[in-house]
């Protein structure tokens, strides 16, 4: 199953493993220039081979089956990772949330089990034998692990989440002292993330209010995270369409001619650093838009497709069988 499922292992430490899924299988999932040989017609949704999102008009039965296949593939991989001298590890469940672009945190131990997913953009747990899955199609997914406590967490950080302090709020929920490791999953790169200047203004305002960056990061915000766009909105019909469909929730704000490109993964990495968290994979983050093996909401918009699927960054803490 592992060889036929678009999933790769990003990290394995102690009884914790981190996995990144994709839309299609690639010989090298980290190859930024890999191309998908399946051409999706403009009028057809791109659900790929492992859509994990229930909210994108895909068949619910198929999505739930994909989630079950993912759970089985993770357990298969955990069994292969176990040393011969140790019993194999496994997980009994994967946890999902209804992601809402905020900073609500779902404490797995602190809430009762419910058939309806919790509305949240982060999850945290200290239990063995489970996984936390964050869905994305351009936003920044982040997972955390603290070896001293065994706590794991998963974070969905679009620009709204980075503005409202979802990373800082999640890190503050770790109850014990000790280093925390982080991994960032596939997300959109600065080269492909053009937005209006109102997004920059809201991001900077949020970072100041939440103190989610160092003073140097605040003072150097434009230099570190912003470049001017080469495309003038009033001369480009595609950019005009992009503004009205991608910059949620401000999708119908007044259109101005000034456009910029934001570096969300660097901003997320620096917010992690400001919170005292060590990023483990800063140089290995693939671009969801540029690599067609991944899902991209922005690429869907540019291609005028009705929908696209969602991939997941998953952190699991195994338990001995």
Q: 177: closest CA among 276, 49, 268, 261? A: 276
Give the residue extent of every domain in the chain. 2-155+178-186+285-320
Site of tokens 């969905």: 156
For the segment(s) 2-155+178-186+285-320, the CATH number from 3.40.50.10860, 3.20.20.80, 3.60.140.10, 3.40.50.720 is: 3.60.140.10
Prior bond of 22 cis (ω within 30°): no
C-alpha–C-alpha distance, residues 275 and 78, integer Å: 30
Q: 98: closest CA among 156, 47, 161, 48? A: 156
145 Cβ neighbours under 8 A, 6+ residues apart: 13, 16, 18, 151, 152, 153, 180, 181, 182, 315
> Each residue's pLDDT tens digit in the chain (321 positions)?
555 899 999 999 999 999 999 999 865 444 444 444 345 666 788 999 999 999 999 999 999 999 999 999 999 999 988 766 578 899 999 999 999 999 999 999 987 767 788 999 999 999 999 999 999 999 999 999 999 999 999 999 999 999 999 999 999 999 899 999 999 999 999 999 999 999 999 999 999 999 999 999 999 999 999 999 874 434 344 433 333 334 443 333 344 558 999 999 999 999 999 999 999 987 789 999 999 999 999 999 999 999 999 999 999 999 987
Query: Residue 128: how many CB atoms within 10 A of its CB?
Result: 16
DSSP state of 25: -
DSSP 208-232: HHHT-S-HHHHHTHHHHHEEE-SS-
pTM attached to this predicted model: 0.88
C-alpha–C-alpha distance, residues 188 and 316, integer Å: 24
pLDDT of residue 158: 97
70 neighbors 309 (Cβ within 8 angstroms): no
303 neighbors 42 (Cβ within 8 angstroms): yes
Q: 182: closest CA among 278, 314, 312, 318? A: 278
130 neighbors 316 (Cβ within 8 angstroms): yes
The first and second tokens of residue 109, run together, are: 């131990």
125 neighbors 316 (Cβ within 8 angstroms): no
Kindly list the distances between the CA atom of residue 172 and the CA atoms of 37, 46, 93, 120, 157, in Å, as whole numbers in the listed order: 44, 37, 25, 16, 16
pLDDT of residue 39: 55
pLDDT of residue 236: 41
The first and second tokens of residue 15, run together, are: 């009884």
Q: 268: closest CA among 124, 136, 143, 102? A: 143
């Amino acid at each position: 199953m592992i060889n036929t499922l678009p999933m790769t292992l990003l990290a394995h430490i102690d009884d914790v493993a981190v996995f990144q899924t994709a839309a299609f299988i690639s010989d090298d999932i980290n190859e930024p220039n890999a191309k998908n040989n399946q051409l999706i017609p403009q009028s057809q949704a791109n659900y790929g081979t492992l859509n994990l999102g229930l909210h994108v008009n895909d068949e619910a039965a198929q999505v739930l089956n994909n989630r079950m296949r993912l759970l089985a593939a993770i357990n298969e991989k955990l069994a292969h990772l176990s040393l011969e001298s140790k019993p194999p590890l496994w997980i009994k469940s994967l946890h999902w949330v209804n992601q809402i672009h905020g900073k609500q945190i779902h404490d797995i131990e602190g809430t009762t089990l419910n058939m309806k997913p919790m509305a949240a953009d982060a999850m945290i747990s200290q239990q063995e034998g489970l996984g936390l899955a964050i869905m994305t199609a351009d936003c920044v997914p982040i997972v955390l692990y603290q070896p001293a406590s065994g706590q794991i967490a998963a974070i969905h950080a679009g620009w709204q989440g980075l503005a409202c302090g979802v990373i800082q709020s999640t890190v503050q929920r770790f109850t014990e002292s000790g280093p925390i490791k982080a991994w960032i999953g596939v997300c959109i790169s600065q080269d492909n993330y053009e937005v209006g200047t109102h997004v920059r203004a809201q991001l900077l305002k949020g970072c100041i209010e939440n103190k989610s960056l160092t003073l140097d990061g605040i003072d150097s915000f434009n230099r570190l995270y912003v470049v001017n766009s080469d495309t003038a909105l009033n001369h480009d019909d595609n950019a005009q369409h992009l503004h009205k469909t991608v910059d949620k929730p401000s999708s119908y704000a007044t259109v101005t001619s000034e456009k910029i490109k934001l570096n969300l993964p660097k901003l997320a990495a620096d917010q992690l650093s400001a919170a005292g968290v060590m990023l483990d994979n800063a140089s290995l983050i693939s671009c969801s838009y540029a690599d067609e093996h991944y899902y991209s909401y922005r690429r869907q918009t540019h291609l005028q497709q009705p929908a696209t699927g969602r991939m997941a960054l998953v952190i699991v803490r195994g338990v001995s069988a």
